[in-house]
Structures are given as C-alpha cells and as structure tokens.
Chains A and B, each alone.
Chain A
Amino acid sequence: MKIMNDTRNARSRGRSLATVVAMMSALLLLFGPAQLFAQDEPGGVRGQVVEAATGTPLAGAQVLVEGTTRGTMTNRDGQFRIGELRPGTYTVQVRSLGYRTVQQEVRVLPESFTDMELALRVSAVPLDEVVATGQPGPVARREIATSIATIDTRELETAPVNSLSELLQGRAPGVTVMPSGGMPGQGSRIVLRGLGSLQRITQPVIYVDGIRIDNSADTFMDQSSFGGHAWVGLDDITPEDIERIEIVRGASAANLYGTEAAAGVMQIFTKQGQEGIQQFYLRSEAGFADTPRDWWDVGGHSARVDDFYDQYVSTGMQHRQHVSVRGAVDRFNYYASGSYRNVEGVIPNTGLMHAGFRANMNVSPFQDFIFGVSTGFSRRSMDLPYDGDHQFGFTRSALGAPGGVALHPDTSLMLDVGLAASRYTAGARMEWTPGTRWRHALVLGLDFFTSDNTDLRPFGTPTAPDNAGAKANARRIANTYNLDYQGSYRFDLTPDIRSRTSFGIQGYQREINWNWAYGEGWPAPGLETINVAANDTGNEDRVYTEQVGFFLEEQLGYRDFLYVSIAGRLDGHSAAGANERWQLYPKLGVSYLPSEQGLLPDAFGTVRLRAAYGEAGLHPEEFSALRTLIPVAVVPNIAGGIVPGNLGNPDLAPERSREIELGADVGLLNDRVSFEATYYNQRVNNAIFPVMAIPSHGFIQPQVRNVGGLRAQGFELGADAVLVRRPGLNWSVWTNLALHESEVDEFTDETAIPENIFGSQWIRPGAPVAAFFDENDELIGPAYPTRTLSVGTRMGLPGGLSVRALLDHQSGHYVESNTLRELDMAALAADDPTAIFDTPASAYIFAADFWRLREVVVGYTVPAGLYRALPVQSAELNIGGRNLWRSHDYPGIEVEGSYNPSLQRANQTYFGAPLPRQIVVGLSARFGAVDR
C-alpha cells in the first residue's frame, strides 16, 4: 500500500478526461463531415405572424420548420425569414406564449422564398410551450406531468435589478429568494419549496445553457468579519444576457438529475442569434439608491441613530451599460454582448462592480445537425465594511453595541473587506436529428470560477496586533466539467398511441481548491502584501466531486390528450458511502387534457390535469462517508502530522426525497383567465443527520448517518387575468401564491439529539426545519416563510406608455435579531450590566412578515417618427423603482437581511444595511436594418 494521493488524483482526472475525449471523438466521427450542402439550391420561407382577433403583429413568436433544426423568432413587426431549406414540402409551426400553436404546410422552391401569413388565437394555458428542464430533451408542456416555472426575461430587460437573484424575486410560486442584506452584491439564498433537508445545504442545481455552474457561497474567510456577506454564483450571470429561465422545484420534477437535485434545478438559457434579424441592442441606465432615516430606526434600541444617519448614510449612485449584437448569416447565427454595472452602497466602503461578456454561436452545416458554442466571462468585485457579529463591525460601532475594544466607527471603516470573483463558462452543444424519429443531443460544459477575498487592516489600524496591520487573503477556485447526452426515439405504436423512448447519460466532475494566507505586522505604512509581513501563515485544501447518472424514460401519448410516462435514473455519486454508491430514482407521471378530448364545454377553454410521483437525491457532504485521518499543520523542523478525522460510514446513502405532485392548469373565459395550481407532498425518510461519535473513542467529529426524516407539503397557485385587450390598450394582472409547511420526523437513532443551528434555532422532531424555540423549548415558529404572495400588473396604454408593478409578501416565519440584543446589552450595561440577562432570548425573535413594493416600471416607446432617419429599429425610455415601499412590524434594520447565508438554515440578523430604495432611468434602443 502506498499513499499516493497525487497519483490517484492524476489517474482519476486523466481517466475522466480521456473518457470525454473518446466520447467526443466517437461522436464526431459518427456525425462526421457528412453532407454539408444541399444537392439543390436552397430556398426559404418568410412571412408575418399576427394575432387572429386584432390583426396585431406578434413579436417574439417562435417559428419552427418541423423535421429540421431551422427556426427563428419574429421581429417587432411580426416578420420572420428562414432560409437554407432544401426544396420540398414542410410544416411550419408557430408558437407564442399565450396563444395556440398553429401549423401550416408550405412548399419551398429552389432559390426563392415562399410567403406566409399566420394568425394565432389567444390561449391562456401554454400547452405547446417547449421546456427542457427536468425532461429528456425539449418536450411540450402538455406532455409533462409536473409543474415547471418558466420566466421569460424579455420584458425584464428594463427591470431595476442589479443581479439575477433580484430578478427572480416574486416571479414564480414556490421560488423564495431571501437576500442577506442591503449592501451591493450581497448574495441571496434561493429556496425551492422550503428547506428540504435537515443538514445539507439545499440550493438548487444551476445550469447555464447546459453548463453546470458552481453556486457555492463559501468565501473561505471568517464570515463574521464580512458580516455574513456571502457569494452567490448565480449573480455572476448578467441578467441582460438571459432569455429564459426554467425552474423545477421538487423531486417529482427533478428526478432526472438524480443525487443532486432534491432541492430543485434551475436552467438559464441565454440569448442566441436569430435568423432574419441583425440587430444591435443598447441599454444605458443610471440611478440612485437611498434609505429613509426610519429604516435605520432599530425600534428605539439605539440613541445614536440620528447621528449615525447624518454622518454615515448617504445616497448611492449606480449605472448600468449593456450592448449586444445578434443576427445570422447563412447557416451561422450569433449573439455577443458586453455589460458593465457599478453600484454604490448607502453606507461608506460599500460598492459593487460587475462586468461581463458573452458570445454564443451556432452553425448548422446541414439541415438536421447543429453545432453551437457558448462562452461567457464575468468579473465581480464588492467592497464591504466589517459588519455582522464582528466586534469591530461598522454598524455595531456606530449604533453603540459593545465591542471587545471601544471602537469608533471611523476606525472600523479603516478595515477593508473585498470580495472579487471571475467566472468563465464555455460549452459546446451538438444536436442531430436524423430523420423524424431520432434525436441526439450532447452538451459538454466547463465552468471556471475563481474568487479572491481579502480582509485588510492597514498599518496603523488600532485593531491590528501592535497597530502594525494584518491581512487575510483567501482564494477559492472551482472548476466544473459536465457532460450531458440525451437521445430519444419516437414512433407510432398505433395510429392513436405514440411512443417516445428517451435515454441518456449525465455527469460532472468538480475540483475545488482553497488557498488562504494570513500575515500580520508590517514594518511601515503602505505595505499590504502578506509576503512582507513579520509573521505569516497559510493553508490549503482541495476537494473533488464526481457524479454520473443514466436515465431511461418511456412515454406513451394517446391522441394528444393523455400522456403517461415512467422513468428511472441510476445515479452514482462520489460522496455516498461505498455500500450506497449507486441509487435508483424512479418516476411516474400522467398528464391528461380533457379539454383536448372534447369532453368539456367550450367556455372552459383549456384544462390539463397532472399527477406525478418522483424521487430525487441529495448527496452527503464530500468524504463524510470515509474514515479518514486529517493532515495537520507542520510543526517546525518536524514533518506534518495526521490525526483522527472522520469516523466514516460506508452505509451513508444520499438523502432520498419522495414527492407526489397533483396539479391542474386551467384557462377560462375564452382564455382570458388562467391559473396553474399544484399540490405537493414530500417525504425524506433517510435524512442525513450528525450523530455524536463517542468522544472517548478518539474520533470526535460527529458521524453522519441517515437517521433523520422530514415531511412537507404545500400548495402553489399562479393565476393570470387579462382584464383589457384592445388595440393599443391592454391590462393584465397576475399573482403567485405558495403555502408550505414542514415537520422534522423522529430520529431513528436514539443517540441523535436536536441540533442547535444558531441562536434559538433548532432541528427538533415535531417542528419545522430550523424552527425557533424559546427558553423552555417551546416552539415559536419556522424560520422560513410558510406563505409567499406576489401580485403584479402590466398595462399597455395608448401613446406607447406601459406600466408594470410587482408587490411581494412573505409571512408565517420568524427572525432572530442579534442586532437588538447587542444594542440592549450596551444600553443596559451602564446601569446594570446583568440586566440583559433578565431578558429572555425569545424577546429578540420577531415575526418576519412583510410587504414590499418590489418594482414599479413606467415605460415609453419612442415614436418611430422621431428616429426614422436613424438606423434605429425601436427605442424605449423608462423609469423604474425598486423596494420603494415596505411594511413590517420587525423593529430591526432589515427583516429580509439574514446574517451569514452560509448558515443556510439560519434566519438571523446581525446589523447590516436595509435593502435600499432604488430609482433608475434608462434608455433601450435597437439598431440595425431589417433584412427583407
């Protein structure tokens, strides 16, 4: 035996890379340099898509040529053009959200374009909307037995948001976004259908154009010095580049993703080139953010609020610039963009800079094959003060809470914290549809993420040892490689029954490397690197994760109104114990459309009923199943040591979430009203939970075992109503409602004891996950919302005006305010230092219900006559506001600000800043000639 971890590492990585290369080679050989050019000179189709009732041109409608990979979207005049089609007869299909799909045959002649005009009728339920997440390939919604939330960001280009997290707030039921505070760049937790695990961090898996990205919040720094600021990889994605987001929220829908996806999956699709339209897009926006004085009031717990506000709180300026180009030349289409935003915070030493670039290219060398490449680069940096529970925290010092050493807030501001990260993603996609029955798709992706986080106390800072300065620097590098192959075969079993068999393989490998260094004691001011400090130390860690899964699904469709599917995924994950490495996750679903069967009166419009059962997993933490020894710091002049680490558990299995989902999608009143309702019931029977190892045995870390359980259920409703629809005037309202409750089951091992997460939050059987308890162990309530409601409206007014608004509400949960406790401790100490201890901890647990006016946007479409002489296709001015109004009973600074999101289950506040009000003014313009 020998310890040759480096060799094992190299072999494993080499094996994985070799496999990927072999697969690519095999597929390339198969796809090969086959037919690239049509034998006859190609022709095409062109035309216009309008709304049947009003004749209004429909922009953004999807036009597809069946049996090919050719397709495009209509421009603002509803026009489209598709070329490079071999002469023959085709079926052209047109889809647009909110309208019924239309198909029409057309004959393509050599060297000419056939004209078409298609009219679409309104349909409230998008049965033919194609979704890809959670499915073995693009599938029409009518065939899917589960609910999938889709967010089209086209109209959100003018939304006053600075991150993708903000973009998601209030957009879909069951998708709860919980920010960590009001400083620019602070990350958010995204929770789908509540906390689905007792121990594991339940963030959804995120893909961007099929590329899996790392979304860890770990900065590898002392969280308290950052005040709980955390990084969220999701916010590296520039919102302006996003075309569509699909979210699957539960195990029944996420089954396809196996031992990673019990917490849900989010797929982000970025913009691609469009045939027939060559267009530049420019968006320029400027604005400011502020916070009213009473938002800092802390319920009267501090006498210094006015001084603090007058001296340190100000208006923060921000601006955003985005430019993109998209178009197509022959068989090649492209999209490229660049974005930059700079946001100042409302308190000193806070700010965000975000720059990003993206390039997506697709080429279709022959009609049934397409090859695409997508690349993206993002650079973000944040400036932050010390905050949170740190004794030198700025807000703490300014508002008068006790610290280890009496500290003036100006001194705290000498301490500099910076988080910076770069992300590069790249992916290659190949799709091949030989004939009408087969489809193959392959995605290879890589995501390179690097963060550089610094905590600096310059020379002369009183808080540094001997006032000689100190610095900590942490670098985190996460490289993720993923492969996703999907194949399907369709054929008609009978004239009424269609079969679709799907299969595939999906896998990824992730390498994470941390490096950390600390130095203290510079001899002179101006020095800020660790290598010249008097004392220094360092640390490093590496973690590898691998997962691979195989899936098989069979779907039978009966006359386009009944679909039954059964599927299974066999999944292996490196973090699972040796005896539980491979898991099988089944899935069963039914989608039934009585309206398509003709059973319902016409007034009912569209009705779809669905039911699904599925299982998905959540893997243990890496290496928790292994019995290990830990290498420890080197003692001078002696080799590094090893000590007992993890006791290990070869029987450690991934948590298995089982979910039943029942739902209905209904369109009423001639499809003017629609709603989508879903009930879900989840059960986790083998939740991972730490069980005390017997300390005297020598292994003192808890042993994780599958001894916990969790049950949850909920209801989600999305409703939309078109109140007015006339030429030049339209008005619609919509709402999302989600109700959720959960309960921890009794532990199956008597040595497992309730876990104190933080403060008054516990994992206790019989209560919601991470609930709050008082001093007598009586339940106070959950830490996560049990009710979320968002209400929105959209109006198109005469004269090119538009108005959009979003009101957001969360309730049913609680938050613990360490801010107020610390302030009270300071206030009481002067008279009676022990008085604070007379106040029970539960006195600082508050209901976290709130209402917030998230967005209001007023837009004005500039009349074309004003820029007719310019190569401008369209222009819009808008003014938008965010967080303009809030209402809650919480007396602290920010009810939504949660300290240290890395403690993902915790809902604690510790100073910080409120979510500011923002006002932005922007101009969007599209340039370029329409290719007729």
Chain B
Amino acid sequence: MLRPETMNQGNSIMTAMNPCNDGAPRGGRPRAGRIATAAVAAVTLALGACDLTAPSPAQIEDRDIRDPVILDALLTGAESDYGRGLTQMGGGGVVIAGGVLTDELVHSGSWVGLEGPSWGLAGDHWVEAQSRWAEPSRARFTTEHAVELGRDIIENLIGEDPDADPRIARVTFYAGMAHRTLADNFCNVVYDAGPLLPYTDGYLRAIQHYDDAIYRANRRIQAVQADPELDPAAIETAVAAMENLISAARGAMAQTYLIMATEGMGEEFWDRALQNAALVPTDFVWTFRMISGDRNSNRVPAWTRSRTETTMWQTPFGDWGLDVDKPLEGGDPRVAFDAPVEADGSYVVAHDNRRPAWMQRKYTSVGNNFPLVKGTEMRLIEGEVALVRGDWQTAIDKINEIRRHYNDGAGASWWFTALGPEPLDMVSASSLEEAWHALMKERGIELYLEGRRLSDLRRWQTNPGRDMVPFTVVRRDSGEADPWTDPRISVWLRERGETEIPPHEFCLQVSRDEKASNPNIGG
C-alpha cells in the first residue's frame, strides 16, 4: 500500500541483497556456495532427528510415576486432594455450599452459584456446581488410586508388606473420608464414569476403607513392635501415630454408622455406631492439616470474612452465637462472630451492600486446620442413639458432658473462642421432643461449618422426622423465603418448569458436566 508513511526504506543489510541480480558478475565462489548448502543440509538432517520433547520440571508425566521415589509424593498428594475438596473450589467448596444450602450461612454477595443454594436450590448448572462436584470426585479417585498404586510399588518394587506401611494406612483413611464427602453432600454418587448411584453407596465404601485403615494401622503396630532394630522411643512414636489413626477411623465409622442407621440401612448400625464411638475419648481431635499455601489453605475465612460473600446474619447460629463485639449479651463461643458497626450504629454491610456482615470466627486464618473427627461428637452420637431408643435423659447427660468438657478447659481447642465468656450453661429437657431439639441444636453448634449440617438435616427428615428438623429459610427482612423474587434464580426456575416455590433441597446436585459427559448417565 502506497502511503507516505509506508515507504520501504529498509536497512542496508536486509535489502541489499537485490533479488534481481542480473548485473555485472562480481566473481564469487559457486563451489563454496554448494559446500555451504551441503553443510546446512547436513545440520538440518541432524536437527530433524530431534523429538521436540520439551522438558517440564513443573509436571510429571503419568508414565513416570510407578517408581518408589514417587511414593511419598503420591500419597501426600492424595491426602492433599481430599482436603482441597472441602473448602477450596466453587466458592468455598462443599463446606460453604452446604452452609448456605442449610441454615449455617446466608449468601450476602454476588456469586449466583451461592445465591441459588442460599434459596434452597442446589442446582447442577452453575459454574461453581461443576467444581464442587469435580474436586471431591477427583479426591475419591486420587486417594483410591494412590492406595492401589502405593501397595503395588511397596509390594512389587520394594518387596515389603504394603499393609504394614503407615502411609498406606493413612491414605486409606482419607479414601474413606473422600467417599464421605461425596455421600454427605451430594444427592448421588458416581464412580469412574459409572451410573448414578444412591448416595448411601458412598457410606458403604467409606466403611470398607475405614475398616482397611484400622487393619493396616494394627499391622503397622505389630510390625514396629516386632522390629528388633527400633528403639523404644521410635516404637512408641510409631504406635501412638497409628493409635491416633485408629481412633480417627473409629470415630469416622461411628459417624458413618449413625448416618446409615438413620437412613434405614440397618438397625444393627445403631449399635455399631455406639461401639465405635465408645472407643474415642472426648478430648480426641483429628483435623485435616491446612497450610498457608494455595492448595490446601482453609478458604472458609475468605468466603465468610474477607470477601463477606456469606454472613451469619439471620441464621439460628447468629442468634445462638456470641457477638464478640457485644460479649455482655452472651452467646455460645463455639459459634462466635464479628459484627462490626458503622459510626451511626448500623451494621457494616456485606459484599451485596445489603445484608449485615456477621463474620464467623471459627476459622480466621487460611492456616486453620479443619476438624474431621472429634471426641465431643462421639458423645453426641451416643446421645442420639439414646434418643432413638427413647432415653432422652442420657442424651441430655451427653450434651452436658460435652459442655463440662469445655468449661473445664480440658481439650479446649483452637476453635473454642476463649474470649473470657461465661461458662457454657448446662441444658435440660423434660420430654423426648425437647431433648431432640436440644441435641440437634447442640450438634449444629458443635459441628458448625464442618461440612456436616447438610447430611444431618437430610437424615433427620427420616429420623426423628421431617417435622422435627430445626430448619427455616429466612432470606428477606420480612421473613419470606421466596426465590422467585430474585431474577437470577427465577430465570433458572422457569427453565426447570417450576411454577411454585420448590421444596428446599438437602443435597448438592451431581454436576451438569458429569451428567453431560458421562455416557452412563445419558451424557
């Protein structure tokens, strides 16, 4: 294109080679030219042999992992994957999603993927719903794959007993926990691109893994105790670690049996729940270790504090809990919260510029560990089984046992906000119904934001029954619970063909990605 500023005035090097070279010959070296060409051809051929496999020190190819040197990383990664599914993806993982779907939290931000569950609509189509399903699904695969591959490496490449390896025992436990994450939170479970299965299938698989974990931990104990080369201190340490793992597995089994029993999977499970719970002391705690990195950081503070995407305002826990800015008003410190106010006394609003920002204080840092099994919950399990059998006084006693445990200071853990509160009051009841209310309230408080509320509310619809479930949806100042008033949600309701306020859901949906891509679900 000819324009004054598009003149070619190229440099003397690149354009000095006149392509119309038909002027007077200048001499030259044609033979040298052919030699040069031949040399280039030879180098070209040599370069052509390269395979262009660019190295990647940041990734490991699948073909390289069946190697003993990878074992620790394989098993550590599996454990890490489990933790990631709890609070990381999809707007705070299953913990936050379950929180807004139940009555632990109210959505107070801009994420539609949390707004829907906050109205009681789990939904499978939101962007967040895809990762909420995907991460725990991967965790299930990763933990089971790690156990399988790890056992193969230890047995066939190292030549040792894989069931006596403490790492295998530990990851086996987390394989069980991965199944629990799916079963506790989702309406269905899916494994390895198979069909939709009832969520209760996940409990059966979890129990198997807990059992295997206990077996392997015991094998480990036997092995170290029989090892003549270990000194007593090392044996003691190794045994203690495995006994801790066994307690955790027992506690997890107690949790799972309770759920299974409630779901009507077998009357014998009530006793199994009791038996396992009895083996876990009240002061026992097993947490998932969160770290201040990106992958396994505890993201609950981000979604409940720094971003104020959710709030405790208008939840029963907000009523029960301790406002640390108003300690004289009392409240349970296990569900303490910050509720800052403006100069005029009005509450500081959350990210939606509307609802007050009542920020939970159970997790205040990305490094706060996440409780998975607690001895205090075992007492609640015992109390609940007693309630099922009509013994409401035992249930009350168990609740008070927990409260005395905290009042005594023994076992006070990081989540007990010791801000100088009054001791926890003892509870009382005069009827079975009152005792149920007390236990359900106590359980909600004790397990607040531990990813357990959703499965509790779901199973309590069965036992003690739908009418007893302590749950109301309050989202508007007027007390109405009407998702049709939110255009972002009403659009989706219309797509589903709904014409009324649908029933509140008590489980998260398998993601649309899974349904669309899995040929066994119609993908």
Stretch at the interface among B207-215, B290-298, B419-427: B290-298
**Is A908's beta carbon under 8 Å from chain B?**
no
* Residues on the B chain within 8 Å of A271, using CB: 11
**Is B228's beta carbon under 8 Å from chain A?**
no
- Using known A-B contacts A138-B17, A837-B488, determine if residue A3 contacts B60 with beta carbons closer than 8 Å: yes
By the criterion CB–CB under 8 Å, are B56 and A505 in contact? no
**Is A66's beta carbon under 8 Å from chain B?**
yes
A597-640 interface bits toward B, Cβ cutoff 8 Å, 1 = contact, 0 = none = 00000000000000000000000001100111111111110111
By the criterion CB–CB under 8 Å, are B48 and A643 in contact? no
By the criterion CB–CB under 8 Å, are B14 and A633 in contact? no
- Using known A-B contacts A274-B12, A642-B74, A674-B2, determine if residue A91 contacts B24 with beta carbons closer than 8 Å: yes
Stretch at the interface among B246-254, B312-320, B325-333, B510-518: B510-518
Q: What's the least CB distance linking B459 to chain A, in Å?
A: 24
Q: What's the least CB distance linking A629 to chain B, in Å?
A: 5
**Is A73's beta carbon under 8 Å from chain B?**
yes
* Residues on the A chain within 8 Å of B8, using CB: 62, 95, 97, 126, 129-131, 150, 152, 244
By the criterion CB–CB under 8 Å, are B137 and A700 in contact? yes
* Residues on the B chain within 8 Å of A439, using CB: 17
By the criterion CB–CB under 8 Å, are B516 and A692 in contact? yes
By the criterion CB–CB under 8 Å, are B77 and A837 in contact? no
* Residues on the A chain within 8 Å of B44, using CB: 505, 550
B57-96 interface bits toward A, Cβ cutoff 8 Å, 1 = contact, 0 = none = 1111111111101101111111111000000000000000
**Is B36's beta carbon under 8 Å from chain A?**
yes
- Using known A-B contacts A3-B67, A696-B192, A794-B4, determine if residue A627 contacts B76 with beta carbons closer than 8 Å: no
**Is B25's beta carbon under 8 Å from chain A?**
yes
By the criterion CB–CB under 8 Å, are A30 and B28 in contact? no
A68, A124, A736: which contacts B2 (Cβ < 8 A)?
Answer: A124
Among the interface residues B7, B130, B191, which one has the most CB atoms of the partner chain A within 10 A? B7
**Is B389's beta carbon under 8 Å from chain A?**
no
By the criterion CB–CB under 8 Å, are B516 and A641 in contact? no
- Using known A-B contacts A404-B306, A629-B77, determine if residue A27 contacts B39 with beta carbons closer than 8 Å: yes
Determine the distance from Cα of A22 to Cα of B190 in the docked complex, in whole angstroms.
Answer: 57
By the criterion CB–CB under 8 Å, are B58 and A546 in contact? no
B431-446 interface bits toward A, Cβ cutoff 8 Å, 1 = contact, 0 = none = 0000000000000000
**Is A864's beta carbon under 8 Å from chain B?**
no
* Residues on the B chain within 8 Å of A695, using CB: 130, 133-134, 137-138, 511, 513-514, 517
* Residues on the B chain within 8 Å of A60, using CB: 7, 9
Determine the distance from Cα of A542 to Cα of B137 in the docked complex, in whole angstroms.
Answer: 28
A98, A500, A574: which contacts B54 (Cβ < 8 A)?
Answer: A574
**Is B345's beta carbon under 8 Å from chain A?**
no
Q: Which of A78-115 contact B (CB under 8 A)?
A: 86, 88-91, 93, 95-98, 103, 105
**Is B52's beta carbon under 8 Å from chain A?**
yes
By the criterion CB–CB under 8 Å, are B59 and A629 in contact? yes
Determine the distance from Cα of A139 to Cα of B391 in the docked complex, in whole angstroms.
Answer: 96
Residue of A nearest to B487 (CB): A837
* Residues on the A chain within 8 Å of B295, using CB: 632-633
Determine the distance from Cα of A537 to Cα of B294 in the docked complex, in whole angstroms.
Answer: 9
By the criterion CB–CB under 8 Å, are A628 and B191 in contact? no
By the criterion CB–CB under 8 Å, are B138 and A644 in contact? yes
* Residues on the A chain within 8 Å of B292, using CB: 535, 537
Residue of A nearest to B295 (CB): A633
- Using known A-B contacts A68-B16, A694-B193, A826-B353, determine if residue A9 contacts B57 with beta carbons closer than 8 Å: yes
By the criterion CB–CB under 8 Å, are A3 and B78 in contact? no
A57-80 interface bits toward B, Cβ cutoff 8 Å, 1 = contact, 0 = none = 000101011111111110000000
**Is B43's beta carbon under 8 Å from chain A?**
yes
**Is B205's beta carbon under 8 Å from chain A?**
no
**Is B135's beta carbon under 8 Å from chain A?**
yes
**Is B33's beta carbon under 8 Å from chain A?**
yes
Residue of B nearest to A389 (CB): B110
By the criterion CB–CB under 8 Å, are A125 and B53 in contact? no
**Is B3's beta carbon under 8 Å from chain A?**
yes
Q: What's the least CB distance linking A485 to chain B, in Å?
A: 6
B33-49 interface bits toward A, Cβ cutoff 8 Å, 1 = contact, 0 = none = 10111011001101110
By the criterion CB–CB under 8 Å, are A2 and B12 in contact? no
**Is A408's beta carbon under 8 Å from chain B?**
no
Determine the distance from Cα of A138 to Cα of B10 in the docked complex, in whole angstroms.
Answer: 10
Determine the distance from Cα of A156 to Cα of B7 in the docked complex, in whole angstroms.
Answer: 12
**Is B376's beta carbon under 8 Å from chain A?**
no
Q: What's the least CB distance linking B491 to chain A, in Å?
A: 6
By the criterion CB–CB under 8 Å, are A635 and B66 in contact? no
By the criterion CB–CB under 8 Å, are A505 and B40 in contact? yes
**Is B523's beta carbon under 8 Å from chain A?**
yes
Determine the distance from Cα of A334 to Cα of B131 in the docked complex, in whole angstroms.
Answer: 59
**Is A322's beta carbon under 8 Å from chain B?**
no
By the criterion CB–CB under 8 Å, are B43 and A23 in contact? yes
Residue of A nearest to B477 (CB): A833
Q: Which of A486-503 contact B (CB under 8 A)?
A: 487, 489-490, 500
Determine the distance from Cα of A542 to Cα of B58 in the docked complex, in whole angstroms.
Answer: 6
User: What is the size, in residues, of chain B's interface with A at 8 Å between Cβ atoms?
Assistant: 120
**Is A52's beta carbon under 8 Å from chain B?**
no
* Residues on the B chain within 8 Å of A151, using CB: 5-6
A732-756 interface bits toward B, Cβ cutoff 8 Å, 1 = contact, 0 = none = 1010100000000000000101001
Interface range for A? 35 or more
* Residues on the A chain within 8 Å of B55, using CB: 5, 8-9, 12, 544
Q: What's the least CB distance linking A585 to chain B, in Å?
A: 16
By the criterion CB–CB under 8 Å, are B77 and A433 in contact? no
By the criterion CB–CB under 8 Å, are B32 and A30 in contact? yes
Determine the distance from Cα of A834 to Cα of B483 in the docked complex, in whole angstroms.
Answer: 11
Q: What's the least CB distance linking B468 to chain A, in Å?
A: 32
Residue of A nearest to B42 (CB): A26
* Residues on the A chain within 8 Å of B289, using CB: 635-636
Q: What's the least CB distance linking B523 to chain A, in Å?
A: 6
- Using known A-B contacts A12-B55, A152-B5, determine if residue A139 contacts B13 with beta carbons closer than 8 Å: no
Q: Which of B386-435 contact A (CB under 8 A)?
A: none
By the criterion CB–CB under 8 Å, are A545 and B21 in contact? no
By the criterion CB–CB under 8 Å, are A834 and B485 in contact? yes
* Residues on the B chain within 8 Å of A644, using CB: 138, 141-142, 145
* Residues on the B chain within 8 Å of A173, using CB: 1
**Is A143's beta carbon under 8 Å from chain B?**
yes
B15, B72, B133, B351: which contacts A402 (Cβ < 8 A)?
Answer: B351
Q: What's the least CB distance linking B220 to chain A, in Å?
A: 17
By the criterion CB–CB under 8 Å, are A623 and B73 in contact? no
* Residues on the A chain within 8 Å of B35, using CB: 30
By the criterion CB–CB under 8 Å, are B13 and A436 in contact? no
By the criterion CB–CB under 8 Å, are A435 and B29 in contact? yes
Residue of B nearest to A97 (CB): B7
Q: What's the least CB distance linking A83 to chain B, in Å?
A: 13
Q: Which of B88-140 contact A (CB under 8 A)?
A: 127, 130-131, 133-135, 137-138, 140
By the criterion CB–CB under 8 Å, are B50 and A648 in contact? no
**Is A780's beta carbon under 8 Å from chain B?**
no
Determine the distance from Cα of A352 to Cα of B191 in the docked complex, in whole angstroms.
Answer: 54
B147-186 interface bits toward A, Cβ cutoff 8 Å, 1 = contact, 0 = none = 0000000000000000000000000000000000000000
Residue of A nearest to B489 (CB): A837
By the criterion CB–CB under 8 Å, are A272 and B26 in contact? no
**Is A541's beta carbon under 8 Å from chain B?**
yes
A-B contacts, 11 of them at CB < 8 A, read A67-B26, A140-B19, A435-B28, A539-B294, A574-B52, A627-B61, A632-B295, A695-B133, A695-B511, A720-B3, A736-B1
The 6 closest A-B pairs by CB, nearest first: A698-B141, A641-B77, A97-B7, A435-B28, A91-B23, A66-B23
* Besides the known contacts A131-B8, A829-B354, 15 further A-B residue pairs in the complex with CB atoms under 8 A apart: A23-B43, A66-B18, A71-B15, A150-B6, A269-B10, A368-B26, A436-B21, A539-B293, A574-B52, A642-B60, A644-B145, A694-B517, A718-B3, A751-B517, A834-B487
Chain B interface (Cβ < 8 Å from any Cβ of A): 1-30, 32-33, 35-37, 39-40, 43-44, 46-48, 50-67, 69-70, 72-81, 127, 130-131, 133-135, 137-138, 140-142, 145, 190-194, 289, 291-296, 306-308, 342, 348-354, 367, 485-488, 491, 511, 513-514, 516-518, 523
